[in-house]
Structure formats: C-alpha cells, structure tokens
C-alpha cells in the first residue's frame, strides 16, 4: 500500500470498528429492554386487562414472536430509518423523537460553543503557568465543580437568577425566543449549568495532557532555543497533546446528549433524555430502544471523531 | 592573554528534593573558556556536569536554582539577567546540542522548521535565507540528501543523522558558544565516529567555543582542548587533554583512567567435573522474530539461524550494535520470545521454546538479568521481598530460613543486610544492579544471561560489577552469556565472543585474540571504531569508505 494511503486506511478501519460496535450495542439495547419488568399489554389495558384481552393485544402487537426475529426486524427497520411505532400512542417513533432531538441538539450545541473554548483555554493556561496563582485558582475551582452535583448547580441557579433576582426565566422552553437577547436569556441557565458539569473534566484533562508534553526534552529544547513560554506551549507542546485532548473533549460532550436528564427536568426542557425516562415508565419499548440507540450513535461518533483527530495529528501515522 | 569568552566564578547551584530537603549540587565551581576553545566537563552521573552546562544558558531544571556566584558570557552576566533577556541570549549567543536528539526533536514538526526555529524566534534572517543556511550546514555536517532532508519528520531519519541535525539546529544562529550534552552517548560506535568528526570540523572552521559534557574520557580526548574533571559538584582537576590523559594528578582522575585499562580475562580453571562434559548451553539454528505468525514464521524475522555453545564455567560475549539482534537472542534463549525454529539445549537437555512450558527446574538453571535495574525491580517492593520471591518459588523457602538466605544473597553481592528493608528507589544505580543480580542468584542458577547489565552504569561502578561477576563465577562455578555493545567490557569478562550483525553471527572467536585476529570486515570495522585514550586517534583513523557504506548504521 502506498505510504500516503496508510492513514486513510487506518481511518476507514476505525470507522468499520465503530459500525461493528454499533451492531453489538443494538443487540445489547434490544435484549436489555426485553428484560424490563412489566408487560406492555397489561399496562396499556390498565383496569380492563382481562387475560383474554391481554392475550389478544399481545398477538396483535406481535409480542408473541420469538425475540430474535423481532430483533432482526427492528434492526432492518433501523437500517432503513424506520424506528417503528410507539406502543403507547401508536405514533411514529421518528416523529416523536425528531422534535425532542432537535431541542437536545440545540442545547448541546450551545453548551459546546460556550464550554469548549473556555475549558481549553483555562486548561492550557493552567498548564502554561503551572504552579502560579492562576493555576491554583483554576484547579481549586474545577475540583469544587466536579464535587458539586449538577442538580445542586441547576437548582441554585434557578433559585438565585430566576426566583430572587428575577433576571432569567426559570423555564427555557416555550418562552419567547424571537430576539437574540431573549434566546440568550432563555438558554443561559441550562447552558451554564451544563457547562459547569462538562468543563471541569475537560480543563483537568487538558491541563494534564499539556503538562505531560511540557515535560518532554523537545520542549526543553525549545526553551534552550530562546522560545517564549507561549511558543513552547502552543507551538511545541500542544500539537503533541491533541490526541488526548480530543478524547477528553469527546467524552465530556457525549454526556450532553444522553446524560442531561437532571438538568432537563429542573428546567422543564423537553429533550431526548426526558423522553426516554417517560418511555421507560410506560414500557414503550420501541421508543426506549430508539432513544438508547441515539445516545449510542452520538457517543460513538464523538469518540470516533476524536480517534480520527488523534490519528491524523500524529505524523508517524500520517 | 585574550579576555575569556566565558568565566564562571564560585558557582553554587542548589536543589530541593521531592521530600523538600535542600541540597547543594554544585559547590563553588570556577573556570574560564577562551574564544574558540572546546572544554570538556567529565564525570560520573550526579557529578553536576549537565547542571553546570545548562546554567551557562541561565537554565536550571525543575527544583534547581542558582544560589550564588556569577556566570559571565561575553559582555553579559547570565546570573543577574531577567528571564526575558536570557531568552534573547539562548540560541544566538549560546546554543545547545542535546543528549538524545531523538527525544529533543518535536515528533509532530518537520525537521527544517525546527532547525531554523532559532532564526524565526530571534528574527535573525528571512526564512528563505535561513533555509539556505541550514542546507549549507547539513552539507558541512556530511548529511546525505541535504536539499530534501529538512522536509522529513524526525522519525524518518536515523539516530546518527538526527544528532548531526541537532548540531545544525544549534549552529544556525551563529552562536559564540555551543554546549554539547553527551551528544554521542546514545549512538553506536561506528556512527559516533562520523558524528564526532562532523562536530569537530564545523567547530574548528567556525572558531566556535564549546562545552562538551561526557562521561567518556576516550570520546572527550578526541574533541576537547581542555578537560575539567568533576565529582560531587566540585572540580577535581583541570588540564589540557594531553595532561589529563598522560599525567593525571588527582586520585579520582587516575581511577577514571584505570577503569579504561583493558583487563584481559583469565579463564577460570575448569573445576574437576570429568563426569559432566556436556556444554552448559548449546544453541542450534535458532531463529526468532516479532509480529504476526504466518505458516509458523513471524512477519519480522530478527534472529537468523544462530548456532553456538558455551562450555561449563566459560563465558560467552555477544557484541553488536543496536538492531543486531543480541537482546533478541537472549530473549529467545530464555524463552521470553519463543523461537520459531531451532533448539536450545541446557546441559544436553532440549528446552521447550516457550518459557511457560518449561519446568521449574529448567527455569532455575538459567536466569536472566536485564539492562535497566530501574525497570526490572518493582519500585513498591522492598529489596527483601524482591529477593524472597524467587526463593519461595524455586525452593519453597519460608520464614527464618528464607530471611537467612536473603541476607546471604545480599552478602554475595557485597551489600549490607540492612538494605533488605529499603525500596529500590532509595538505592544507587550500582546497588540496584547488584540487587538485580542477587535476584538471579536466588534461583541458584548455572547459567546467567546478562543483557547489557553494565551499560547504564558509570565506568567506575561498571568495573566493580564486572569484578563481582568474576568473583561469583569463581565461588559458584557459574557461566555467563554476556551481551554488550561495549568491546572492552566483553574483553574483560569473556572467553569467547560472537559478533552479531543484523540477526546473524558473522564471526565467533576467542575474546583475547579479538582485536588482533578478527577477519570478518564488520568485526574489523567495529573494533577499529572504539575510541582510544589518545588525542590523535580520531584524526589518525582511516576506515575503508566502502566498508562503512556497507555496514555502518548511518
């Protein structure tokens, strides 16, 4: 194979692994939801659940078929973009999810835009002036933020900014977002709360990755060439720390799609995480499975993207 | 007399240890360097030679600081300067050639960008001009493909080339002083010659002053005008290279020189064992390699059909440069890397190729000692625990009997019994290597495979370890397979020598006659490349360019 194609081969290989992982995960998701206690037919029928009615409904919903054939059918449907119908209200799952997903992505996107630049500059800055007052303040703050649970941050934010100061609306959804300032106001609190949660991790990992490369002989060499601190860190250390930093950022961001249930609940924000929890309480298997798959896909694509960045930033593999 | 370029007065450098204790590592050092003069700082590890050299650039490593004294470079005082002013001096007035160029080049940037970085940082000249100058320097340093070399990444050129490139990097800003920090220590001997020659000619041509830090007197003798001998942060002796080599005054200098004297090995008289004439180790057609196995053959074949035998009580030296497969040979014999072809016989009995399928008794008879005691000894276990483990494994010893045997083992390697409660991190390099050796002895072996066990040690300490090996051999009737890249070490301890090149044995001959009777061209090249304690050796050395092109790892 020609040298120049080598990295692309590695990238394709990495994508192949991601796809394979996705199939394995879908298997796990399907059979894990099968294990959920309770029976959809009984729940749907509620008071009217006579044994005959339950049996009839199960037959009608295809629940009596063997699990494996339902899995294959579901997987084939997924591959064609058909997420199936909700058990509860017989609506198209894709339709149920699409609105919620765009809400979630909007929140995740805004949080990413706010938190990633701040986290990276704080992390790199802390590494650059390691041991300084700035570094110590950043370290203490990140550790405090990691140790404070997110519902605490979110609840305090509502209490202070919405209840006491009345600066921001307590709810983020359904309020007027026609002007830019109104939109900023509506999203300010959930975005800040989420940024707190994910930034701490990114700051610490970035700082550690950069410090590790600062301690290498080639950065000392740059110092002995007369390079300034800025040039040493940004020009020599950072390019070699890109791989670990990309991974830390991807791990933190993956949390934004599936792991934000607490923040969504506190701010009554209709995102996918809340949809999934509701689906669990009604045993709406197609909906649960689709949500779980969305979380997996977003997680996998972020991690794969980070791996590809790490691959391409390494000239030994390029 | 002309004004010296550098004058160092009463330099004191202190360090704070991890435990917070303050120690003085440079204790009042004075010396001058004239313009165009090359001064060598020589001493063992911990003597402060690198610390002094770095302080000339106003740089101290983490935890160290300049406490007192002054360093004057040309017109400016380095010690009183602000960090910003020091940045101006670094690269333009004084520059640095690192010990390991492989580690000092940024892996993610092209070579040219790094070589001309000094010009870019200090705004010395436009980029095109800097590149042109760099290419001229590449030519002056005898680098191949000077025009395109800069476009490559560091991992795409050899170690010897990188080392010369790092000199180009140091010279681009026309410094008055260049600091060489053990620049050839990591290189093979055949490569070292070329690098030394390149350094010497560039420095002489430009009339540049230099500080050459090294632990190797023979290397220093080739390049330095004056030698400063350091020990424990103090200057022991200063003199011209001729003086230091031929008429050393100080006891420590004499000791350093003595460690260089070849001590021809006296073979141990075979103890009366007429009933066991079998060789302790026989190796037939041994081949091993790494990577994916296909049809029973690995993707990368390293070792190619090696044959040899070691008679009981005799020592076999294996020499060769990096990549010659000598460590792979030890690993294949020990079974750590199972061979895919050939046989290993110990005392006439064939061994399983894989370590895991060998019996305890088979494992006991043959032990291996690794190069780096730092990584071979678990840092969280005490010396006592480290030695007790093989005793329990091989002999089932416990309690008092085991404690007594641990003390006995420590005594064998001349370490005090009280050391058993210490952790490896609290020991010196030489002490750690002795523990490493004691651990192999715990199994009561008949054959010890020594993989470069003295390479990471200072000359004086290494000589003591060799002495210990000989003593143990006399007392316990051991045999050694001694792997090394250092010919004089092999000469000092071995009866026979195998010369390896690219996974093959190119020549086998008695050690005592190695330097006179070697016939294979590669053996001759290797032997002639070892620096001698003679200031005229390098300039007088003539090597066949065709041979070099064929074998030298440049």
Contact B87, A226 (CB under 8 A): yes
Quick check: helix, strand or coil at residue A142?
A: helix
Residue B275: pLDDT above 60? no
Nearest alpha-carbon partner for B317 in B493, B513, B448, B514: B493
Judge if B142 and B287 occupy the same domain: no
Least confident of A79-88, B98-107, B455-464: A79-88
Judge if B320 and B449 occupy the same domain: yes
Residue A193: pLDDT above 50? yes
- Cα–Cα distance between A87 and A92 in angstroms, integer? 10
Quick check: helix, strand or coil at residue B367?
A: strand
Alpha helix (H) ranges present in A3-79?
6-34, 40-45, 51-61, 67-79
Residue B227: pLDDT above 90? yes
- Return the top range by mean pLDDT from A74-83, B155-164, B493-502: B493-502
The set of residues, in sequence order, having a beta carbon less than 8 Å from that of B359 and lying 6+ positions away, is: none
Judge if B161 and B289 occupy the same domain: no
Residue that finishes a domain, picked among B148, B174, B200: B174
E strands of B170-266, at which residues?
A: 177-181, 209-214, 226-231, 234-240
pTM of the model: 0.78
- Is there a domain that residue B491 lies in? yes
Nearest CA in chain A to B156: A316
Residue numbers of the domain that contains B106: 98-174
The set of residues, in sequence order, having a beta carbon less than 8 Å from that of B535 and lying 6+ positions away, is: B221, B222, B241, B242, B245
The string of pLDDT tens digits covering residues B317-364 is: 999 887 788 888 999 999 998 999 999 999 888 898 888 899 999 999
Nearest alpha-carbon partner for B237 in B219, B252, B225: B252
- Is there a domain that residue B144 lies in? yes
The string of pLDDT tens digits covering residues B283-329 is: 999 999 887 888 888 888 889 999 999 998 889 999 988 778 888 89
Looking at residue B510, the DSSP 8-state letter turns out to be E
Judge if B478 and B365 occupy the same domain: yes
Element of type H or E holding B299: strand B297-310
Whole-number pLDDT of residue B387 = 93
Rg (alpha carbons) of chain A, rounded to whole number = 24
- Return the top range by mean pLDDT from A19-23, A167-171, A178-182: A19-23
- Cα–Cα distance between A221 and A225 in angstroms, integer? 6
Rounded (5°) CA angle B83-B85-B90: 90
In chain B, % of residues over pLDDT 70: 96
Q: What is the distance in angstroms between the Cα of B104 and the nearest Cα belonging to chain A? A: 4
Quick check: helix, strand or coil at residue B425?
A: helix
A224 and B90 within 8 Å at the Cβ level: the answer is yes
Residue B383: pLDDT above 60? yes
Whole-number pLDDT of residue A174 = 62
In chain A, % of residues over pLDDT 90: 18
Least confident of A46-50, A82-86, A310-314, B409-413: A46-50
Contact B39, B239 (CB under 8 A): no
Chain A residues in contact with B108 (beta carbon < 8 A)? 239-240, 313-315
Alpha helix (H) ranges present in B450-513?
459-476, 487-493
Whole-number pLDDT of residue B269 = 56
Residue that finishes a domain, picked among B121, B145, B174: B174
Chain B residues in contact with A236 (beta carbon < 8 A)? 106, 109
More confident residue, A84 or B139: B139
More confident residue, B209 or B195: B209
Judge if B167 and B301 occupy the same domain: no
Average pLDDT of B177-185?
A: 88
- Cα–Cα distance between A178 and B196 in angstroms, integer? 74
Average pLDDT of B175-203?
A: 86
Residues in chain B, total = 554
- Is there a domain that residue B537 lies in? no
Q: What is the CATH number of the domain that holds B301?
A: 3.40.50.300
- Is there a domain that residue B341 lies in? yes
- Is there a domain that residue B353 lies in? yes
- Cα–Cα distance between B355 and B364 in angstroms, integer? 12
Residue B272: pLDDT above 60? no
Whole-number pLDDT of residue B262 = 65
pLDDT band at B263 (very low <50, low <70, confident <90, very high): low
Q: Quote the number of domains for chain B.
A: 2
Average pLDDT of B197-219?
A: 88
Average pLDDT of B493-513?
A: 89
Mean pLDDT, all residues of chain B: 87
More confident residue, B308 or A93: B308
Quick check: helix, strand or coil at residue B201?
A: helix
Q: What are phi and psi of B2, to 5 degrees?
A: -70, 155
Whole-number pLDDT of residue B268 = 60
Whole-number pLDDT of residue A288 = 85
pLDDT band at A1 (very low <50, low <70, confident <90, very high): very low
Compute, in degrees rounded to 10, the torsion defined by CA atoms B230, B232, B233, B236. -40
A226 and B90 within 8 Å at the Cβ level: the answer is yes
Judge if B327 and B448 occupy the same domain: yes
Token code pair at residue B312 = 């009981």
- Cα–Cα distance between B500 and B498 in angstroms, integer? 6
Q: What are phi and psi of B271, to 5 degrees?
A: -70, 155
Chain A residues in contact with B89 (beta carbon < 8 A)? 226
- Is there a domain that residue B507 lies in? yes
B121 and A225 within 8 Å at the Cβ level: the answer is yes
Nearest CA in chain A to B157: A316
B169 and A225 within 8 Å at the Cβ level: the answer is yes
Contact B83, B59 (CB under 8 A): no
Q: What is the ipTM of this complex?
A: 0.77
Residue that finishes a domain, picked among B134, B153, B174: B174
- Cα–Cα distance between A256 and B407 in angstroms, integer? 60
Residue B144: pLDDT above 90? no
- Is there a domain that residue B496 lies in? yes
A315 and B153 within 8 Å at the Cβ level: the answer is yes
Contact A76, A159 (CB under 8 A): no
Say if A7 is an interface residue toward chain B (CB within 8 Å).
Answer: no
Q: Which residues pair with B542 in a beta bridge?
A: none
Say if A229 is an interface residue toward chain B (CB within 8 Å).
Answer: no
- Is there a domain that residue B167 lies in? yes
Judge if B295 and B166 occupy the same domain: no
Judge if B318 and B460 occupy the same domain: yes
Average pLDDT of A269-287?
A: 82
Helix axes B127-140, B159-171, angle to 10 degrees: 130
- Cα–Cα distance between B245 and B239 in angstroms, integer? 9
Q: What is the torsional sign of CA B211, B215, B218, B219?
A: negative
Judge if B313 and B452 occupy the same domain: yes
Are β-strands B209-214 and B177-181 bridged in parallel, bridged antiparallel, or unpaired? parallel
In chain A, % of residues over pLDDT 70: 93
Whole-number pLDDT of residue A208 = 93
Select the residue of B100, B153, B169 nearest A217 (Cβ to Cβ).
B100
Quick check: helix, strand or coil at residue B62?
A: coil
- Cα–Cα distance between B202 and B222 in angstroms, integer? 14
Nearest alpha-carbon partner for B326 in B352, B355, B288, B357: B288
Q: What is the distance in angstroms between the Cα of B120 and the nearest Cα belonging to chain A? A: 10
B117 and A222 within 8 Å at the Cβ level: the answer is yes
Judge if B348 and B462 occupy the same domain: yes
Residue B367: pLDDT above 80? yes
């Amino acid at each position: 194979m020609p040298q120049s194609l080598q990295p692309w081969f590695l990238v394709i290989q990495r994508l192949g692994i991601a796809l394979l992982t996705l199939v394995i995960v879908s298997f796990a998701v399907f059979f894990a939801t099968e294990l959920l206690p309770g029976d959809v037919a009984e729940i749907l029928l509620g008071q009217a659940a006579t044994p005959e009615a339950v049996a009839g409904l199960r037959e009608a919903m295809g629940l009596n078929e063997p699990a494996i054939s339902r899995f294959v059918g579901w997987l084939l449907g997924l591959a064609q973009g058909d997420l199936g119908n909700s058990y509860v209200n017989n609506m198209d799952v894709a339709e149920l999810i699409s609105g919620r997903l765009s809400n979630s992505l909007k929140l995740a996107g805004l949080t990413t835009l706010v938190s990633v630049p701040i986290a990276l500059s704080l992390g790199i800055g802390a590494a650059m002036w390691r041991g300084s007052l700035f570094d110590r303040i950043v370290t203490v703050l990140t550790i405090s933020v990691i140790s404070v649970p997110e519902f605490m941050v979110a609840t305090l934010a509502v209490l202070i900014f919405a209840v006491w100061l009345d600066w921001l609306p307590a709810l983020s959804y359904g309020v007027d977002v026609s002007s830019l300032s109104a939109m900023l106001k509506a999203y300010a609190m959930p975005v800040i709360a989420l940024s707190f949660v994910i930034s701490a991790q990114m700051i610490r990992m970035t700082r550690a990755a950069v410090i590790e490369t600062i301690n290498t002989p080639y950065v000392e060499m740059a110092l002995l060439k007369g390079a300034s601190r800025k040039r040493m860190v940004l020009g020599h250390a950072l390019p070699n720390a890109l791989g670990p930093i990309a991974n830390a950022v991807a791990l933190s961001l993956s949390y934004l799609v599936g792991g934000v249930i607490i923040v969504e609940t506190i701010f009554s924000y209709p995102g996918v995480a809340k949809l999934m929890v509701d689906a669990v309480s009604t045993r709406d298997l197609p909906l649960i499975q689709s949500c779980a798959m969305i979380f997996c896909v977003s997680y996998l694509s972020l991690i794969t993207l980070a791996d590809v960045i790490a691959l391409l930033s390494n000239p030994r593999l390029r | 007399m002309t004004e010296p370029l550098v004058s160092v007065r009463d330099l004191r450098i202190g360090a704070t240890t991890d435990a917070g204790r303050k120690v003085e590592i440079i204790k009042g050092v004075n010396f001058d360097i004239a313009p165009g003069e090359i001064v060598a700082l020589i001493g063992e590890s911990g003597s402060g030679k690198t610390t002094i050299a770095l302080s000339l650039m106003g740089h101290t490593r983490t935890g160290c600081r300049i406490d007192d004294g002054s360093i004057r470079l040309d017109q400016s005082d380095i010690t009183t300067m602000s960090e910003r002013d020091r940045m101006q001096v670094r690269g333009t007035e004084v520059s640095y050639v690192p010990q390991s160029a492989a580690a000092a080049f940024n892996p993610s940037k092209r070579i040219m960008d790094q070589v001309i970085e000094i010009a870019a940082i200090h705004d010395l000249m436009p980029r095109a001009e800097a590149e042109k100058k760099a290419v001229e320097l590449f030519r002056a340093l005898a680098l191949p493909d000077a025009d395109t070399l800069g476009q490559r990444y560091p991992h795409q050129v050899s170690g010897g080339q990188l080392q010369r490139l790092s000199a180009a990097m140091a010279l681009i800003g026309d410094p008055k002083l260049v600091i060489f920090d053990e620049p050839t220590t990591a290189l093979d001997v055949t490569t070292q010659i070329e690098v030394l020659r390149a350094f010497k000619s560039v420095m002489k041509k430009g009339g540049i002053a230099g500080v050459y830090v090294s632990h190797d007197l023979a290397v220093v003798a080739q390049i330095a005008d004056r030698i400063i001998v350091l020990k424990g942060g103090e200057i022991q002796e200063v003199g011209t290279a001729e003086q230091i080599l031929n008429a050393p005054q100080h006891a420590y200098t004499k000791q350093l020189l003595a460690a260089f004297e070849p001590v021809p090995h006296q073979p141990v008289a075979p103890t009366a064992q007429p009933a066991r004439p079998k060789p302790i180790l026989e190796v037939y057609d041994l081949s091993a390699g790494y990577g994916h196995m296909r049809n029973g053959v690995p993707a990368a074949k390293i070792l190619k059909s090696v044959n040899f035998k070691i008679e009981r009580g005799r020592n076999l030296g294996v020499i060769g440069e990096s990549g010659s497969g000598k460590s792979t040979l030890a690993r294949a014999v020990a079974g750590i890397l199972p061979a895919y072809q050939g046989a290993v016989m110990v005392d006439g009995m064939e061994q399983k190729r894989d370590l895991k399928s060998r019996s305890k008794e088979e494992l006991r008879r043959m032990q291996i000692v690794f190069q780096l005691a730092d990584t071979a000894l678990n840092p969280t276990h005490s010396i006592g625990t480290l030695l007790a483990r093989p005793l329990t494994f091989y002999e089932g010893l416990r309690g008092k009997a085991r404690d007594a045997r641990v003390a006995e083992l420590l005594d064998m390697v001349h370490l005090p019994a009280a050391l058993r409660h210490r952790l490896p991190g609290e020991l010196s390099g030489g002490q750690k290597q002795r523990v490493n050796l004691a651990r192999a002895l715990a199994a009561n072996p008949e054959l010890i495979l020594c993989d470069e066990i003295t390479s990471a040690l200072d000359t004086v300490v290494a000589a003591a370890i060799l002495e210990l090996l000989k003593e143990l051999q006399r007392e316990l009737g051991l045999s050694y397979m001694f792997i090394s890249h250092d010919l004089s070490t092999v000469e000092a301890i071995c009866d026979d020598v195998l010369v390896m090149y690219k996974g093959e044995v190119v020549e086998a001959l008695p050690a005592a006659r190695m330097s006179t009777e070697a016939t294979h061209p590669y053996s001759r090249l290797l032997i002639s490349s070892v620096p001698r304690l003679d200031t005229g050796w390098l300039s007088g050395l003539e090597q066949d360019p065709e041979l070099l092109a064929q074998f030298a790892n440049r």
